[in-house]
Chains A and B, each alone.
Chain A
Amino acid sequence: MNDDTLTLYYYNDGLSDRERRDVEAALHSDLVLAARYAELKRQLEQWTRPDKEVAPPHMVERWHDSIDKAASREHVRRETPRHSFSFMSFAWGAAVTAALVIGIGIGVYFSGDDSITTLPGNTVAATDTPRNGVIPAAFTRGLQVHLRDTQRDISSLPVETAEDRTMLVLQIIQQNRIFERAAEHNDAQSLARVLRAFEPILLRLAADDIAPEDAEALREQLAFELKVMLTKLERDTSNSTHST
């Protein structure tokens, strides 16, 4: 009897009743086999000790926060019945809130803080040693590509089939998180906040219980916000290039 069979016996899975009985009989009659099994069991049990990994505190905070936000969104939805007026539906509420959050965020990001500029060109200094408040041009270009891709994906998003829409939006969220983290790494906190503000709307759009008309409304709102952000980003990049 080999160790593979003993492994399945240990897990109590993958052996028929008869095979289990055979193993038990063999363990009772064969002392060498019993010793081998005892050693295998000891090693396997050793690998179930508690883990050392601890979730980063800022992530735990974010998880708490996401539940509060989800609960608060539901509260808004409950208080604004869909049949009263489509503009007051949850999706519209979320879209309008999102527009405000993103709009304010974009405004603050692009006009309120002169210290935040984009470094033109492909200089090593720009890409390798990002200073506080200065966004490397390579990152800006990457962000522009991401936003354009998102804009294209959003415009062709299937609003009728929830499954396809969910998969596509989850991919967009994944990409968005990468750029959000990159923005944080580049000390572009305002930009990170703007990118973060997209996520609740995208998550809502990914939900499988959203009505097609609400999905369409969210999609249009996102397309508009992306266009605004891209235009301002391109203008800002162009200004930085001309001023140097």
Chain B
Amino acid sequence: MVAVLNSLSVPSQAEFHEAISTRSDRWFSACLKITRNQDLAQDAVQDALLSAWNKRHQFDHTARLDTWIHRIAINAALQLLRRNRPGIFEALEFDIEDHSETPHDSLADTELENSLSQALQHLSEFERVCFVLKHLEQWRLKEIADELNTNTGAVKQAIFRAVRKLRARMTSLQGEAS
């Protein structure tokens, strides 16, 4: 029994490889939606894997290993984004669109080809990150607010604006397509 519990307690090297083989596309994709930058998304996954490996003794099996790494990767992506563009999540509690071009935008454009990803580019950084964390990553509003050092009211407003803009954008894209 003890042996079974021990074997359950710490994920093995093979389990990490299995997770990378089956789920790394999802980790990368999620990080890419957060950062809009392929290099940062790759680094986030790399950092997350090493961090998860170093902390694997803390893995408590309440979630699957790949889900646990996914969450660490999202945090790593947010950290890298914050480090690369300080102040990115500050003072964005009003209705603006982010028209600023980053050096990696053209690369990101080729990566984010589907219509949602196109529409996401018309949100501010704050709106995009809040929406991605809520809608795609299914974080609670409180978790998002804590992670971004803001309050739930600001997160709610950002999500409302994001949903409004996305609906308008998607309707327009669908109109053009038909």
Contacts and interface: CB of A to CB of B under 8 A. Distances in A.
Interface string B36-60: 0011001101110110011000000
A174 B53 contact: no
Interface string B47-83: 1011001100000000000000000000000001001
Given A43-B167, A47-B116, A174-B43, A66 B49 contact: yes
Given A51-B29, A53-B112, A59-B42, A7 B163 contact: yes
Given A47-B135, A203-B50, A7 B42 contact: no
Number of chain B interface residues as a range:
35 or more
Interface stretch (A67-75, A95-103, A125-133, A213-221): A67-75
A86 interface: no
A71 B10 CA distance: 13
Contacts of A3: 160, 163-164
Contact of B113 (A13, A52, A55): A52
B135 A55 contact: no
B37 to A, nearest CB: 12
Given A67-B20, A71-B13, A8 B50 contact: no
B148 to A, nearest CB: 15
A83 interface: no
A210 to B, nearest CB: 11
Interface in B1-45: 13, 16-17, 20-21, 24-29, 32-33, 38-39, 42-43, 45
Contacts of A49: 114, 116
Contacts of A47: 116, 135-136, 166, 170
Which of A40, A48, A63, A67 gathers the greatest number of chain B CB atoms within 10 Å? A63
A8 B39 contact: no
Interface in A164-219: 170-171, 174, 177, 181, 203, 207, 209
A55 B24 contact: yes
B16 A67 contact: yes
B150 interface: no
Interface of B: 13, 16-17, 20-21, 24-29, 32-33, 38-39, 42-43, 45-47, 49-50, 53-54, 80, 83-84, 111-114, 116, 134-136, 140-141, 152, 156, 159-160, 163-164, 166-167, 170
Closest CB pairs A-B (n = 10): A55-B28, A53-B29, A51-B29, A4-B160, A67-B16, A71-B13, A70-B53, A59-B42, A47-B116, A14-B141
Interface of A: 3-4, 7-8, 11, 13-14, 40, 43-44, 46-49, 51-56, 59-60, 62-64, 66-68, 70-71, 170-171, 174, 177, 181, 203, 207, 209
